[in-house]
Structure 1
Amino acid sequence: MYKQEKNVVNILCNLELVYPPAFFDIMVHLVLHLPQEAILGGPVYMRWMYPFERYMKKLKGYLRNKARPEGSIAEGYVADEALTFCSMYLEGIQTKFNHPDRNADADIPKRHLHVFSSQCRPMSKVEILDLSEEANKSLHYFVLNNCHEIEDYKSKFKSDFPGRDMKTEFSSWFKYEADTSSSSHNMSPDCTNELMALAYGPTRACSYDACIVNGVRFVVHSRDVRRTTQNSGVVSIGEDGTLFYGQLEQIIELKYLHKYSVVLFRCKWFDTSGKRLEKKNNIVSINISREWFVGNEWYDDQQYILATQAKHVFYLQDPSRSTDNWRVVEDVHHRKLWDHPSMSIVNEIDLLHDTQSSDYNLVVDSGFDENNNDDENFIDGDGEFDVDVNDEFDDYEDNEEDDLLYPSDEEVQIKDDFMVDDNVDLLYTCYSSDDSD
């Protein structure tokens, strides 16, 4: 920092050879004092004024009468505090204490098939998709392949028809088997409706440009390029734990019978194999110049993931690279979203008595029973541990009075030893003379 304090003067002198004098205002001159301030004050975040400046902007918003600015700000502040206090006791009215979050999820009912739990809250207009027959079959098979509740049907199809193509023929066979099993087996009505809706396939499809999933906002890349913000970066974890990085291209919602639906994300995946992914100092950099899993058609099933399988990430330009193809992956924790580990409460067992501490309730008996001559604590048949408080305090008070009235032999011997000392005799004489006065 001392070196920079000397160099900043030379830098500003060199700048004076290039820029006109009007460029060097008070803000440019402030650079001369920044190194010295850092040396004297330490890190700037411990002493900057940004919080107070932001609060001053809030106070200026209360201004209504420019002729009396101080009084207007004071009245506005008092009114805001009063309304904020009163809004905490209002029921049935939306306030800042009970209003829904900006990225609140949609109400998702409980489903037996987890693929129907892949829902979203749309944040843009709905566009109806006219899917071809081949595209409809490909998307339908992707949903079936990601439904773990029908693994028994998949195993049965592979064992009965080992030579057939599962991707093209399983959906029709599963529809037949679902009709048969729903009529022969005793299944719950909800599970039967879900199974039948999944077997018959999607009836129609629609797409969105933005949606909210699990409290996180996702925006397609074509809409994201027109903005300064970024919400199209996604990452998905494979079956073997491999991370797949990509960009969200399209949000598709497949409609099924009985008002069931499945939300899919069509993504453009980046090829991060080999040296195209580098991790150094907990910083992940990827090369986005080459795509991965590029199919011949846009409905290739390798481009899709369920909406609940996507995690939001940001791609930042890597300043340490000479090319523009490298991005730094920034994985952030969103506000109001926490990943708390599950805590299991273990009840310890008493090895001596083979009991648990929760089997007995502690009952404190503050009353006095003259008929009860038993001074010991006991456990009754109901599993309650009784404690007689009065007996313990009575014993303590009796012992304290006995100690004051009847000193022990050791205390008497210590007192006699002190009385033998001349200084102690003189001390007692002084005290006796004072008392006589």
Structure 2
Amino acid sequence: MFNTVMDVAGKTKDNVKTRLDLPEHCRRPELHLQESTNNKLLKPKASDSFTMEQKRKICEWVESLKIPDGYDSNLGKRVDSERGILHGMKSHDCHVFMKQLLPIAFCGLPENIWKPMAEISLFFKDLCSSTLRVQNLVRMAKNIVVISNKLEKILPPGFFDVMEHLLIHLVHEALLGGPVQYRWMYHFERSIGKSKRGIKNKHRVKGYPIDMMLLGMILQYNHYQSSTNRVYNSENAATFDQFFKDISWGPITVHTMSQYNVNGFKFSKEKYLENKKTNNSGVWVKGDDGNQNENVDYFGVLPEILELEYSGWPIKRIVLFQCKWFDPTSRGTRELKQHNIIEVKHTRKYEAYDPFIIAQNAKQVYYAHYPLRRDKSDWWVVIKTKPMGRVEVEIELDVAYQNEISSVHQVVDAELEMNLEHPDHILEEVNREELDMPTNMEKDEEETFEEDDWIDEEETSEDDACEWIDDEETSEEDE
């Protein structure tokens, strides 16, 4: 699909020979080859393919992407901006592009073309979820038939082979075998690669264990905004123990950190990543809006990582993230539920002052802008990541892992406009010698058969058939 939409020479299925088959197999007159008055063969550009200028913008966008460490390989090395292609992508690179980046990269296509491609991307994203529900799989089995039919109305017939038909059976395979991510080879390949690199790199970022009792005490201490005199007051001796008295003095030391590993994610502060190809500063946390709504998503970036140490024994340490939040209201955060796309307006910030969160509550995201949509220059797409080396199990009352559960929306619009002509009406010249096609002059000079000649041949063939039948009857009499 990528090679066809990007119109990669030698790999696209929308080639000249495919256009020759369209009059016979498809009702797409706007895509038929045209012959000019000077005997030049012209191929109308399809609306599902990009121009060279658009392809180069997409390549520049891929090259500028900054994704977290270990999430994917450096896609910037796979870019050839001169030819407008991506080359040398590994299977996992294609997997990430298909699931996460395809709806963003192809946003410049017409709406009726972009929607089916966004739906096929969401299909793979739901299929690869860590938790699959039977009712969602049943709905996916119905949707993939409709989505495939939409794509057949857009892409050339030569694109569809047994691999595209395989999508219909993947849902039934998931019903029998369970979530796909527990059956593929990426985990083992990553573990082997990590073992090979482990000897060369001795540096590892350490994370200190956190005491949940300490968290509760600190939150209680912040709730009172109380003073040390209140804690050490003899009247309150039964209320506060020595543990709470130690933290009431406040932290004795505060250390800043450039990186911190927690919850299977590797976080880095924003300034540390200025000259790097990766970005680990995207933060996502669940919270409330102060109006009894406790299921609000807060997205932001990480300027500082702080480690606080308190006096007394045992040693008490806690790590806090100081974050810059985007506006969580509808003016700064919106969701396209049909395609499961979340956007944040990076020019709008959270008005309230509430920058600190406990590191153990943070999850990681990264942001990508739209390469071909000037009307969405202020909006970034939020792409959530999964922790490395961990398997998250759904808890009945825990809503923090809902993004890992497949959420399938019914495909509503099953019909598609049949006009697939490019909006700019671009005509590309075709080399006739590659097809061995005659010109108009040569066509007139070709020999033609008269209608009587075809009839005589048919009559002759019928006579031969009669003779063949007589031979059979004679052989039966002889027996």
TM superposition score normalised by structure 2: 0.39
TM superposition score normalised by structure 1: 0.42
Indicate the structure (1 or 2) with the bigger Cα radius of gyration: 1
Greater relative contact order (Cα 8 A, min sep 6): structure 1 or 2?
2
